């Protein structure tokens, strides 16, 4: 049932077009959002060279990324692909961090996903999208989404410059959010440096404000928070959820 509704949601997704326009994609929903937390809205776009896509991290609370993949490996980074890093937004945040991506080659399809793994792999849950998919191609969003449901997650870092699209700066997180460029929750060993990520130094350099995350020692523990948060923050998040529910009911 869950599978069927996910596919229906993808088929029904709006296709947004732009020529030298600024288009906005919302990154992450809330539990009230139709389609849920784990999605990009819209998830299918057409954008010509020079168009700027503004990814607005709209899922509050949330902890999401915009990471380029290939069609063939939906939940793994494209070597030399773009990567926003994880943008963590706490329940009490009132700011919506943004990240601008400019289309540099509208002739290549661009596939992207969220590389958050807690409490479930967001990519497996449908948090993915596509730009400039060729009409009629078998390599379409529906096929990509289907493959993503069982694809292995790879959280290696990309850079600012991607294939077919590039950013000139990391996400602007302001005061209300934190940018993570490595996964401090489990501190996985870096087995290999990503190759071809020519601007990754710039992205890493901007992560200075996120050092607090490195002090976290909790095991991920498969928490049910639903937003990629550590157990240490569950209390805050649950409290917020209860408070929110109290307002609704």
| 183-222 residues near ligand NAG, rule: CB under 6 A | 183-185, 213, 216
Residues with Cβ within 8 Å of residue 162, at least 6 apart in sequence: 68, 78, 80, 81, 82, 83, 101, 110
**CA 100/CA 121 separation, integer angstroms:** 24
Minimum separation from the CB atom of position 49 to ligand NAG (A): 4
Using CB under 5 A as the binding rule, whether residue 127 contacts Cu ion is answered as: yes
Give the torsion through C-alpha atoms of 181, 151, 123, 189, to 10 deg. Answer: -20
Binding-site member from 110, 163, 180, 200 for ligand NAG (CB under 6 A):
180
User: Which H or E run contains 205?
Assistant: helix 200-205
**Residue with smaller CB distance to ligand NAG, 46 or 184:** 184
Q: Which residue is nearest to Cu ion (CB)?
A: 114
Binding mask 5-34 for ligand NAG (x = CB under 6 A): ---------------x--------------
**Residue with smaller CB distance to Cu ion, 55 or 78:** 55
Give the chain's length. Answer: 249
Residues with Cβ within 8 Å of residue 140, at least 6 apart in sequence: 130, 133
> Which parts of this chain interact with ligand NAG (CB under 6 A)?
20, 49-50, 63, 86, 88, 90, 92, 105-107, 116, 180, 183-185, 213, 216, 228-230, 233, 236
């Amino acid at each position: 049932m869950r599978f069927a509704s996910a596919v229906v949601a993808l088929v029904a997704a709006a296709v947004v077009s732009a020529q030298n326009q600024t288009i906005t994609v919302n990154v992450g929903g809330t539990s009230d959002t139709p389609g849920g937390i784990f999605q990009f809205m819209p998830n299918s776009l057409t954008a010509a060279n020079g168009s700027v896509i503004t990814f607005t991290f709209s899922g509050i609370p949330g902890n999401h990324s915009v990471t380029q993949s290939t069609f063939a490996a939906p939940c793994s980074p494209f070597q030399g692909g773009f990567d926003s890093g994880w943008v963590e937004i706490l329940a009490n945040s009132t700011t919506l961090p943004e990240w601008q991506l400019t289309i540099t080659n509208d002739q290549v399809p661009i596939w992207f996903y969220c590389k958050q793994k807690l409490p479930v792999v967001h990519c497996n849950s449908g948090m993915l999208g596509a730009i400039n998919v060729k009409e009629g191609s078998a390599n379409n969003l529906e096929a990509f989404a289907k493959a993503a449901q069982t694809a292995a997650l790879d959280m290696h870092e990309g850079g600012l410059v991607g294939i077919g699209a590039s950013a000139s700066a990391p996400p602007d997180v302001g005061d209300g959010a934190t940018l993570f460029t490595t996964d401090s929750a489990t501190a996985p060993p870096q087995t290999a440096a990503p190759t071809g990520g020519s601007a990754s130094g710039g992205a890493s350099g901007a992560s200075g404000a996120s050092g607090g995350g490195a002090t976290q020692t909790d095991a991920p523990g498969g928490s049910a928070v639903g937003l990629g948060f550590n157990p240490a923050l569950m209390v805050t998040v649950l409290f917020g959820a209860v408070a929110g529910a109290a307002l609704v009911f």
